[in-house]
């Protein structure tokens, strides 16, 4: 589903990472949340591509998306 992300139990304890690196997705998202820019991250991490970073954001958004589960009405058997 995410071509730029891999999850491998042998890499970073199975955390979602940018494919081909040991850079966890959560680290990229946190750096952006703390004010780093995409341009800044690309400069600091030359192995990254813009699409890697955008995929991290998309992945994080999908994890944060609310799922609505209908509550079934419980019928009392009294």
What domains are defined for the chain?
A: 5-64 (1.10.10.10)
pLDDT digits (tens, 9 = 90+) for 16-63: 999 999 999 999 999 999 999 999 999 999 999 999 999 999 999 998
pTM over 0.95: no
pLDDT digits (tens, 9 = 90+) for 61-72: 998 887 777 777
**In sequence order, what E strands does 1-78 have?**
5-7, 16-18
Question: What Å distances lie between residue 74 and 22, 27, 36, 49, 78, CA to CA?
Answer: 48, 43, 49, 51, 12
Q: Check whether 11 has a pLDDT greater than 80.
A: yes
């Amino acid at each position: 589903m995410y071509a730029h992300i891999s999850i491998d139990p042998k890499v970073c304890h199975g955390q979602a990472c940018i494919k081909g690196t040991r850079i966890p997705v959560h680290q990229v998202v946190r750096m952006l949340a703390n004010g780093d820019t995409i341009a800044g991250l690309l400069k600091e991490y030359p192995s990254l591509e813009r699409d890697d970073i955008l995929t991290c954001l998309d992945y994080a958004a999908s994890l944060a998306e609310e799922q609505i589960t209908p509550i079934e009405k419980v019928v009392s058997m009294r």
